[in-house]
Amino acid sequence: MIIESLVILSMLVGGSAVVRVAGLRGWGVPILGSVAGVSLYISIGAVQVLSPITSSSILTMSLTAGIPIAVWLWNYFRGRDVRIKVLPAIALMVGVISLIALFRAARLVAWSSDSFRYLLNASLIATDNFDSASTALIPKRLIGVPLLHAPSGLSGSYYLPSIAPLIAALALALIAWLAWNGLSVKHNKWTVAIVTTAGLLTLATTNRFVFHGFYINGHLLFGALLLAVVGCSWIMVVDSRVSRQAMLLVMGLAIVALVFVRAETALLVGFALLPTLLDRRFSHRTKAALLALLGVPLIAWQSFVASVYLEEGSGVPLSVSGLLAAGIVMVAGIPALRWKGLNRWGQQILLLAEIGLWLALGMLALQEPEVLIDSIAATTQNTVLGAASWGLSLIMLVGLTVLAAFLKVPDGQLLRFPLTTFVPFVFLLAYLRDAAYRVGDGDSLNRMWIQLIPLAVLYFTVAIGAGEWRLKRASADSPTDEVPAEAR
Amino acid sequence: MVGNARAILIGLALVAIVVNVLQFRTIEQGADPRYAALGRLPSPLLQESLSESQAIADIYSLFFHLSEVAPGSQLHIAADSRFPITSIRDNALGFGRADSVSGVEFDETVDWVTQDDLDTEVDTYHLEGSGSVWLPHHGDVPWQIVTGDCSTSSVGNDSTSFAVFHLRDAGDTSLLLIETCLAPEGMGAAK
């Protein structure tokens, strides 16, 4: 309990300090701060694992809290306004510790064989033995989730029961903050409150969301961090009141952390970032930094994985060398971001990228149709016919998201593109892993849906809040819930 | 017509919320217990939940057991072992809480021992545990952890050292983790 509280608080306090210094205020500080804290913790842990220094969780915790606090103190004593409200901060910490106690007592944990592999990596990190881990563990389970559970080794345990539910709570809080800020620019607070509550309840009552809220795995962590990356990019564009510096900081940290959470991150996050990289409202320097923060850790991680394969005397598989090449292409492609055509032809490039994914899927399907046919059949069984515990939830979530696409969402493309590219992408993944998806709760795709669902919920929540059909003429708008710019 | 679109979508979201709540219990009842949204562990110790999945228990129970009887142990495995060293090393260093797992040169002639060898060459020993472990390329393999009253090490001491051998009886192969001070003559390379 003490170790678990210290780990969580190190992330909450460290992350909050760093986003506060970056200029964020209000209730966004603990929410975005927690995203920054989790990401910082994973990033620091990754440096420890990839370098000869110890992978001790005590060091990870100390640096996660210590560096931001030092930066905060330095700014505070230099006279910058980085003050925090002490009483709410203490109340929040007490609340978090109470939740940790509650989750520990509840013993609500979902697990599968994958969970044990993640926890095995966590044990190897905890005992400073990760350099002995084999290729049976490293390429697929990575270190993001293991790093979060590794401190349990300090108390002789193998996992921290509150990590997964707190990440689920963070995903909900992040949706609430993004929707509230994004919508309150133009709409009155009651409308925003009702719409946001509806969106949050739609997600929170979904059985598989609750499952992932207690599941020892990285799917929901990925979902929350991806939501942060895409959501922060979107909120910067639609709400000029938020601190751009803080949003970019959260985005950057989340991108780095994502590299160490799931193997498919490079491609999925790469596509999610594409609308931002093609948007003229982001500076070249920002775009270059974001791409570098994806490419450099990717090169570092895949090089490490490749070295483990070589040490074992086996060849480096295409999945590793391909991702290493992707990282190199990202970094090498940074100068190309200066090309003005990227801004001018941004829409066309996005369209081409999406068409390209479908074409690639089509070509592979022509060569080997069984994989796609079997995958679609299994996915239908899982998501429509009730074989994998979704009930009607996924159909309803997809339905709401598709309907939302007919509504005007301010700068909706930033939110929509990662959603629409996900479908061809996951079926392409079936070809990359050379196996069709299967029927049942344990199917990979069945669990991967939750990686996109928080973003989908934000998308349709914002669409409902905007509440305007795309095809309606602007002159037909009702001004009743518009908030004048002066009153914002 | 801002109100219409919003009202329709909020109405649909409310329908989704109600359906989610109504179907929650049914989904829970139909799900595999491990994939239930509100599945409760029998105890705070994760390893005790292994009884819910024999397949997963077969992979890890040996190593959880090792962590209980000899945390911080050192394992010495024949370098040419026909058992997969990397798999044993991953699990022993992780869940087994072993301090080290090393490959050592064993005499080929004594790499394989039988239960009779053990009974005749070792005066007294304690069977600390036995079971079955699933190993890559081998499937389920029986295992035994054997310790003795060694002067230099004892069970529970951080320096407990085991030699890992193949124990063969009537054609069946077992994995034998024997405290190195008990290892029969000729197996001294592991000591």
> Model confidence over A373-388: pLDDT tens digits?
999 999 999 999 988 8
* Alpha helix ranges (H) inside A368-412: 369-383, 393-404
| Residues in chain A within 8 Å Cβ distance of B32 | 441
Residue A307 has pLDDT above 60, yes or no: yes
* Half-sphere exposure in the Cβ direction for A209 (13 Å, CA): 28
Check whether A140 has a pLDDT greater than 50. Answer: yes
d(CA A267, CA A421): 11
Nearest to B19 among A396, A407, A472 (CB): A396
Q: Over 50: is that where the pLDDT of A450 sits?
A: yes
Distance CA A123, CA A157 (A): 9
Are the beta carbons of A71 and A46 closer than 8 angstroms? Answer: no
Cβ contact A113–B53 (<8 Å): yes
Mean pLDDT calculated for residue range A71-78 = 95
B12 → closest Cβ in A112, A389, A400:
A400
pLDDT value for B117 = 67
The residue that leads in pLDDT, A266 or A198, is A198
Chain A residue with minimum CA distance to B68 = A156
Q: What 3 state SS string does A158-179 have?
A: CCCCCHHHHHHHHHHHHHHHHH
Nearest CA-CA partner of A36 in A6, A3, A10, A1: A10
With bands split at pLDDT 50, 70 and 90, how would you rate the model's confidence at A304? very high
Q: State how far the Cα of A199 lies from the Cα of A196, in Å rounded to an integer.
A: 5
Which residue(s) pair with A80 in the sheet? none
Whether residue B95 and residue A157 make contact (CB cut-off 8 A), yes or no, is no
Supply the pLDDT for residue A472.
60
- Distance to chain B for A461, nearest Cα, Å: 9
Give the Cα separation of A446 and A430 in Å (integer): 12
Q: Which residues lie closer than 8 Å to A484 by C-beta, 6 or more apart?
A: none
Separation of alpha carbons A437 and A252, rounded Å? 32
Cα dist from A410 to A407, A418, A455, A469, B4, whole Å: 10, 16, 15, 12, 18
- Which residues on chain A are in Cβ contact (under 8 Å) with B20? 202, 205-207, 391, 393, 396
Spatial distance between the Cα atoms of A46 and A256, rounded to a whole number of angstroms: 10
Are A441 and B91 inside 8 Å of each other by CB?
A: no
B79 shares contact with chain A (CB less than 8 Å): no
Sign (positive or negative) of CA dihedral A190, A193, A199, A201: negative
Distance from CA of B62 to the nearest CA of A (A): 14
Size of interface A-B (CB pairs under 8 A): 181
Closest residue to B6, CB basis, from A123, A399, A464 = A464
- Give yes or no for B17 touching A (CB within 8 A): yes
Q: Tell me which H or E stretch contains A92.
A: helix A86-106
Q: Which of B14, B27, B133 to mutate to test the interface with A (most CBs of A within 10 A)?
A: B27
**Sign of torsion over alpha carbons A71, A77, A82, A87:** positive
The pLDDT assigned to B2 comes to 53
Decide: A206 and A454 in contact? Cβ < 8 Å: no
Alpha helices (runs of H) in A107-151, residue ranges in sequence order = 113-126, 138-141, 144-149
**Does position A445 have pLDDT exceeding 80, yes or no?**
yes
Q: Per-residue pLDDT for A479 more than 50?
A: no
- A120: nearest CB among B13, B21, B94: B94
| Residue B134, min C-alpha distance to chain A (Å) | 13
Residues in chain B closer than 8 A to A383 (CB atoms): none
Q: With CA atoms as reference, report the closest residue to A457 among A272, A234, A295, A223.
A: A223
Q: Which of B18, B24, B35 to mutate to test the interface with A (most CBs of A within 10 A)?
A: B35
Which residue from A minimizes the CA distance to B64?
A: A158
pLDDT digits (tens, 9 = 90+) for A404-425: 999 988 898 999 999 999 999 9
Q: Is the pLDDT of residue A282 over 70?
A: yes
Report the residue of chain A nearest B98, measured CA to CA: A127
pLDDT in tens, A141-155: 999 999 999 999 998
CA atoms of A64 and A73, how far apart (whole Å): 15
**Residue B40 is nearest to which of A107, A208, A467, comparing CB atoms?**
A107
Alpha-carbon gap, residue B172 to B142, rounded angstroms: 9
Q: The pTM is what?
A: 0.91
Which of B32, B60, B86 is the closest to A441 by Cβ? Answer: B32
> Which pLDDT value is given to residue B156?
45
| Amino acid at position A439, single letter | V
Residues in B 132-191 with any Cβ partner in A closer than 8 A: 136
Put simply, whether B90 touches A (Cβ < 8 Å) is: yes
pLDDT at A364 over 90: yes
For an interface test with B, the pick among A129, A155, A459 (most B C-beta atoms closer than 10 Å) comes out as: A129
Q: In A, which residues are within 8 Å of B40 by CB distance?
A: 106-109
Contact A481 B37 (CB under 8 A): no
CB contact under 8 A, B86 and A312: yes
Contact B34 A205 (CB under 8 A): no
How many alpha carbons fall within 13 Å on the CB side of residue A346? 18
Distance of CA B127 to the CA centre of its chain: 17
Chain B nearest-CA distance from A420, in A, is 20
pLDDT reading at A309 higher than 70: yes
Q: What are phi and psi of B129, to 5 degrees?
A: 170, 160
Smallest Cβ–Cβ distance between A120 and the set B12, B30, B90 belongs to B90
Share of chain A above pLDDT 90, in %: 77
Reference A200, options A457, A399, A415, A460; nearest CA is A457
First to last CA, chain B: 84
Cβ distance A111 to B34 less than 8 Å, yes or no, reads: yes
Mean pLDDT of A255-265: 93
- Which chain B residue shows the shortest CA-CA distance from A312? B86
- The Cα of B80 is separated from the nearest Cα of chain A by a number of Å equal to 14
pLDDT for residue A276 = 95
Nearest to B16 among A159, A390, A400 (CB): A400
For chain A, the first-to-last Cα distance in angstroms comes to 43
Alpha carbons A402 and A416: distance in angstroms, whole number = 10
* CA distances in angstroms from B83 to A310, B53, B106, listed in the order given: 21, 24, 14
Residue with tokens 């990686």: A451
CA A311 → CA A10, A304, A330, B92, B102, distances in Å?
35, 11, 27, 20, 15
ipTM score here? 0.86
Dihedral (Cα; A451, A454, A460, A461), 10-degree rounding: 180
pLDDT at A199 > cutoff 90: yes
Residues from chain A contacting residue B77 (CB–CB below 8 Å): none
The answer to whether the beta carbons of residues B71 and B97 sit under 8 Å apart is yes
Which residue from B minimizes the CA distance to A390? B27
Give start and end residues of each alpha helix (H) in A22-56.
28-50
- Among A442, A477, A471, A459, residue whose Cα is nearest residue A112: A442
Q: Are B166 and B112 in contact (CB under 8 A)?
A: yes
User: Is residue A65 within a helix (H) or strand (E), and if so which, with residue range?
Assistant: helix A57-77
Q: What is the pLDDT along chain B (191 residues), one digit of tens a residue?
A: 556 888 888 999 999 999 999 999 999 988 888 889 998 787 778 777 777 788 888 899 999 999 988 888 888 887 666 677 888 899 999 999 999 888 777 655 555 566 666 666 666 777 778 888 888 877 888 888 888 776 554 444 456 888 887 766 656 677 888 888 777 655 544 44
Q: Which amino acid is at B9?
A: L
Give me the residue from B3, B12, B31 closest to A389, CB to CB. B31
pLDDT at A484 over 60: no
